[in-house]
Amino acid sequence: MKIFRLLALFVFAVAVSTQVVAQKGTKKADEEFNNRAYTEAAKLYKLAEATTKGLDNKAAIFFKIGECYRLTAQFNQALEWYEKAITAQYDKINPEVYFSYGNTLQLLGRWEDAVAQYNKYNAKGGDKTKGNAAIEACNTASKKKNEKSKIVVENCVELNSPALDMCLRYSTKKGDQMVFTTRRQATKGDRTDRIMGQDFSDVFFVDVDKKGKFGVPQPVEGGVNTEHHEGASAFTKDYETIYYTQCRDEGKAWFACDILFAGSGGKGYEMADTLRILDRLENDTAVVGHPTFTPDDKFLIFSSDMDGGKGGKDLWYVTFDKKSGKIGKPVNLGDVNSAGDDMFPWVSAEGVLYFSTDGRGGLGGLDIFKADKTGDLKYGNPIALDYPINSTSHDYAFILEERGEAKDRIYAGYFTSDRPGGKGSDDIYHFSEPPLEFTLVGTAYDKNTGSSLAGANVTVTGSDGSSVKLTTDGNGGFSLDKSQVKANTSYTVDIQKDQYFGTGDKFSTVGLKASTNFAREYFLMPIPSKDVEISMPLVQYPYNEVVLLINDEVNSADSLNFLLDIMQTNPKLKIQLEAHTDFRGKDDYNQILSEGRAKTCVDYLISKGIAADRMVPVGMGEKQPRTLTTDVAGFKAGTVLTEKYITALPKDQQEAAHTLNRRTIFRILDANYVSQGSK
């Protein structure tokens, strides 16, 4: 929608598109309305209505009064007068009453009611493209509100007043002071603005402590504030000069808004001068305002309705040389602009452009968009910020908190909105995405009995170089809190206990977008006695060969990695690695084959960094048939796979038995191994 009250925001007035009431009794009211003096116009329309004859003429006045209230953000009063206009059948004359009614409901967050009015607007002959876009915005807003958002938005109640407050900006390098625009009663101008019925606006400053708590707002001292409108400020990167918008109001005449600047001096600012972006002798109507600088101070970006733009207000820029005071000619910022009003630019330290527009759809009113930098004053496709930063109300004047080191910052900042529930007509809001929090909770168990293991030693090592050592409690538990588990970090968990195989785990917070509690259970297997055969995943070899079988279907290296992990996690283990064959073939040949296969496995583990003196390869040939300790492949636990047993099996079962005999296993030789180099 066209935002007629934006002059009150130091956004510049747009042409009135509503129907002019053709009544002699409303002539003065129409003049005030067309001059955007909505507060005064509403009073005059009410006086005129009392003496106006004819239902159609009264209905038109009702509609105009509703518009006055809507354009000054007095939405409940606006609804009352739109309802009167509809009761008087103004919709038969102008279906825009339904659109304005729907728009007011939308701004109040009453989306279902707004959709009903937009549907009536379409049915009564309104612009269906406009009506359907508004319906889509309401449906999207309703959906977004029902979705759980990580963003927390809070009204800056200690900063805001019952009047308009907007455009909060940092004004010192340390970030310990900010400025904003306000219409509170302490402003310098002693007149009442005819648009909003509030005092004229000034620039105020406020101290901010390290926790973001505001002090008491005070007017900036010196030559900035006058009896006219001042606001929408920006600073050069040294914060020695303030640039701000001024809109002169001489009572009966508006003057085109301009950007002024003033250097700091003493307790306040020196007398201001005009930054002459336009030659006012040639162009005294185009408005200029909303200054912001690129991080390097080379360019000043602003908003203006000068000729050559895409729509109402566009974003423009000029080259800027602070030392010489020279600026270049205005250049349109290009594709970021829309056919609507594009305003309130701000550029982050990383060069991302944020601005507000009503020309790109969105949730309603002004929405905040961002565009990533692709080159000097070149930006990618603008993307709307999500709810709850954007709403169906007007949302604008966005900035990020940029105090401290970039790596330590959370996503937080400020913006202005006239959403329902505020303290004044427009309020300053703070938003933040609470920092992601990660924790680890683990429990260690005996793998055989399932009982918890107290006294196990746990070491958690992070990719950032951090290391935490702790011991499991009486219930086998241990935990790391949010201060010990960091974002964008990968961790390795190592658990050791005497007489148990150590075990471990890996987890990572890299790329996670939500807070997470990592819950882990660790099962430690008791170390068996030296004469116990320990099974491992099947290691296969090509027929009659000693090399590992690796093809599209089998990767025996993966099987050996099971043992590799045990050896790496348990550096005090020394093992005997045995390779067994089935009984087919000659005994001597099977012995040699098994020795070669055992050596192949040991060589693989050596190549992965396991010390050679921790492993003894032994070829067992066919001498030791397997005794099954569990049911497997259709054979019962306790079965001994001897030659006699296998040859008595049906042919279709014999190969399965041979496969079980062809195995690679290991036994513990020493659970307290010490490397030769450590002695």
The percent of residues in the chain predicted with pLDDT above 70, rounded, is 92
User: Please, where in the chain does CATH 2.60.40.10 lie?
Assistant: 438-524
User: Please, where in the chain does CATH 3.30.1330.60 lie?
Assistant: 556-678
**Segments in 247-383 forming alpha helices (H):** none
The percent of residues in the chain predicted with pLDDT above 90, rounded, is 60
Mean pLDDT of 156-161: 94
Give the pLDDT of residue 677: 60
**Lowest-confidence pick of 23-27, 180-184, 390-394, 482-486:** 23-27
Q: How many CB atoms lie within 10 A of CB 487?
A: 14
Q: How far apart are CA 502 and CA 567, in angstroms?
A: 9
Q: How far apart are CA 77 and CA 133, in angstroms?
A: 25
Supply the mean pLDDT for the chain: 88
Q: How confident is the model at residue 676 (pLDDT cuts 50, 70, 90)?
A: low
Tokens of 40: 């005064």
In the beta sheet, which residues pair with residue 452?
Answer: 445
Tokens of 75: 């939405």
Most confident of 113-122, 147-156, 228-237: 113-122
Does the structure show a pLDDT above 50 at 7?
no
**Lowest-confidence pick of 353-367, 402-416, 505-519:** 402-416
Which 3 state secondary structure label does DSSP give 658? helix
Mean pLDDT of 254-271: 84
In the sheet that holds 412-417, the strands lie side by side as 152-155, 427-432, 412-417, 395-400
Which 3 state secondary structure label does DSSP give 613? helix
Closest CA to 626 of 575, 669, 664, 678: 664
Which 3 state secondary structure label does DSSP give 234? strand
Give the pLDDT of residue 19: 40
Question: Does CATH place domain 4-146 in 1.10.3720.10?
Answer: no
Tokens of 138: 């309401």
pTM recorded for the entire structure: 0.66
Give the pLDDT of residue 8: 42
Mean pLDDT of 639-651: 94
Question: Does CATH place domain 438-524 in 2.60.40.10?
Answer: yes
Give the pLDDT of residue 252: 58
Phi/psi at 271 (5° precision): -65, 140
pLDDT tens digits, 523-539? 999 988 877 888 888 88
3-state secondary structure string across 417-436: ECCCCCCCCCEEEEEECCCC
CATH code, 152-432: 2.120.10.30
Q: How many CB atoms lie within 10 A of CB 95?
A: 18
Mean pLDDT of 486-512: 93
Q: How confident is the model at residue 189 (pLDDT cuts 50, 70, 90)?
A: low
Q: How many CB atoms lie within 10 A of CB 134?
A: 25
- Between β-strands 331-332 and 367-371, what pairing exists: parallel, antiparallel or unpaired? unpaired
Mean pLDDT of 96-123: 93
Most confident of 13-27, 212-226, 457-471: 457-471
Widest CA span of the chain, in angstroms?
123
User: Please, where in the chain does CATH 1.25.40.10 lie?
Assistant: 4-146
Closest CA to 280 of 300, 250, 259: 259
pLDDT tens digits, 510-522? 999 888 999 999 9
User: Please, where in the chain does CATH 2.120.10.30 lie?
Assistant: 152-432
Name the CATH code of domain 556-678 (choices 3.30.230.10, 3.40.50.700, 3.40.50.300, 3.30.1330.60): 3.30.1330.60
Give the pLDDT of residue 10: 39
